[in-house]
Amino acid sequence: MTFVVIVVVVGIAGCTDDTACNFDPNATCDPDNACLELDSCGDCGGSGIAGCTDDTACNFDPAATCNPDNACLELDVVVIVVVVVSLVVQMIQLVTLILQLLVILIMPV
């Protein structure tokens, strides 16, 4: 008696690159170059561009499609106002001092 054994090897298509975001540990072949990378927004195989998406921020990026790191910066108006007020107060103090000196110089003894 003769037996015939037929072995059929079926490959499992998928991404075989273990550094890819869509790696398939069961895949045995990658016929279509199916492996993908993360885009800058963290999407597997995406085309996102990371940056500030808030159009009111001072560093708004119109090309950005995601803001994964909260990259937007706001103008610090409070600090600017405090600095301006501080400078005005110093100028008033200086003018007051100059006027006092003028009064002393002009007044007869």
Give residue-wise pLDDT tens across range 1-21.
788 877 666 788 899 999 999
Nearest by Cα to 53 from 43, 63, 41: 63
Tokens of 94: 């200086």
- Count the helices and strands in the chain (H runs, E runs): 1, 0
* This model's pTM is above 0.75: no
Query: In tens digits, what is the pLDDT along the chain, a chain of 109 residues?
Result: 788 877 666 788 899 999 999 999 999 888 778 899 999 999 999 999 999 999 999 899 999 999 988 889 987 766 566 667 778 888 888 888 888 888 877 877 6
Domain coordinates in residue numbering, the chain: 1-35, 38-74, 76-109
Q: CB neighbours of 68 closer than 8 A, spacing ≥ 6?
A: 40, 41, 42, 50
